[in-house]
Structure 1
Amino acid sequence: MFFNIPIHTALGTSTTSMVFTVLSGTASHLREGNMVIKTGLIIGGFGAIGSYTGTLVTGLLPENLLIWISASLLFLSSFLIWVRTRVVKQETSDQKVKLFWIIAPAIGLITGFLSGCFGIGSTPLIQLGLLIFLNMTLLQAAATSMLILIPVSLFGAIGFYQAGFIDWFLLVQIVAGTMTGSYIGAKFTKRASVLILRTAMILLPVFGGLLLLW
């Protein structure tokens, strides 16, 4: 919107900036004790594979199609999070515990691929997977998604770099602000009410989707 950057370069630059942003946010969440570390590392590892694979596909997609799909995924994830958070959270069943090594890799591969292919960071989709399939709380989902995004964004950045879709000068300017904002924001996650967290998880993807279409 502000720099007239082509969509592929915008996606590559934003994904690369996330490497630094999520490092800052993860450090803050770790100190606050908000995240489920083991789950985050497992999903993040598989997410890295999906993310790099996605970057190989995104260069083949035309700009208009890329914008519409990215925006649609954001709207869809927002709607599904709204539906999920209206349902009372149930205890994790023994069946879900047994299926963890199927569910966790699947969440990583799918959300990682979408992140690499469409550059949306997949944060809403990751949080949705954690809420629905692993029965995390809103606080845990918000924090653990940051840890998952470290390898996802790193391998996505590698793929976008190889494709030549990164504006390095713009990246430096973005990172200067996002690292600071992410670290400070993580301090408020534990202190925010469930209503605020839920509202933010639902409205931010919608706002991002509208910006893409605009």
Structure 2
Amino acid sequence: MLVQLVGTMFAVGLLLGFVGAGGSGFIISILTVVFGFSIHTSLGTALAAMFFSSAAGAFSHYREGNIVLGTGIVVGGAGMVGAWLSSFASNGIPGEDLKWMTAAMLFLSGVALWFRMRLVSKRNDSQPAKARQRPAVYWASACGVGLVTGGLSGLFGIGATPFIQIGLMTILGTSIRQAAGTSMIVIIPIAVGGGAGFYQLGHLDVTLLLEVAVGIMLGSYIGAKFTRRVPAVVLQRSMVLLPMVGAAILVI
């Protein structure tokens, strides 16, 4: 089972690194449906595992020039607070209800990102990020994006990557590739905050976490290499399909 689990997580990591996703929701689907872990254990373990997948992917994205560092740090810091606080609320949700709620949020995130991609289909993807608001408003908006998306992560166990990327593109003015890379920086502190909350609640399996992390880190680092080497339309469609596939697996 160890080899099977690590191999599966390596394949998942390739996808996550490519689209700039922490992939907690997708990992939850695999752990719950394929390997039979409870939803709460899968949720806590997958959310913490985002730290490893995002750290590896973020390093690769940084070297590829896809990250707006200051924005990512501020959004991620606020997201860490939101994830830690909301993780305690999820503990009171029955497992079966939580599974369906997580699946619904994954599907909704794919739909929302598809809609956003339609709006930016003619946008110049190579343009640099610009703070269109005054600095104080810009950084306040960055904190707001972090708190909301971190809250979604802690409550439903999802990485909220599509919502993070929508916030980065719509509110904070990043390009599509910058959103893919910067979201990896944002997810790192969110994973720390959410993982800490679930550890306190007893829903974090450390052994399982290490097994998942090994496969995810290797795959995520390699997958990030392809983000700048494919047409933007392929990246967009991959971003949309990934959470929807995770939702479909979870409700099987």
Q: TM-score range by the shorter chain?
A: over 0.9
TM-score normalised by the chain length of structure 1: 0.94
Distance 1:202 1:183 in 2: 21
Match of 2:163 in 1: 125
Are residue 166 (structure 1) and residue 191 (structure 2) matched? no
Match of 2:66 in 1: 34
How far did residue 201 of structure 1 move?
Answer: 0.6
Cα-to-partner distance string for 1:164-183 (whole Å, 9 max, x where unaligned): 10122222221111000110
Structure 2 residues not aligned, in runs of 5+ = 1-32
**Residues 29, 186 of structure 1: 8 Å contact kept:** yes
Distance 1:137 1:193 in 2: 14
TM-score normalised by the chain length of structure 2: 0.80
Kindly report structure 1 stretches of 4+ aligned residues shifted beyond 3 Å: 88-98
Are residue 156 (structure 1) and residue 188 (structure 2) matched? no
**What is the SS of the residue equivalent to 1:166?**
coil
Aligned with 1:116 (options 154, 157, 181): 154
Match of 1:105 in 2: 143
Distance 2:113 2:136 in 1: 24
Which residue identity lines up with residue 218 of structure 2 in the other structure?
T
Match of 1:142 in 2: 180
How far did residue 135 of structure 1 move?
Answer: 2.6
Distance 2:35 2:204 in 1: 14
The 5 A counterparts of 1:177-188 are 177-188=215-226
Are residue 19 (structure 1) and residue 57 (structure 2) matched? no
**Residues 96, 134 of structure 1: 8 Å contact kept:** no
Distance 1:96 1:199 in 2: 33
How far did residue 2 of structure 1 move?
Answer: 2.2
Match of 1:200 in 2: 238
Which residue identity lines up with residue 151 of structure 2 in the other structure?
F
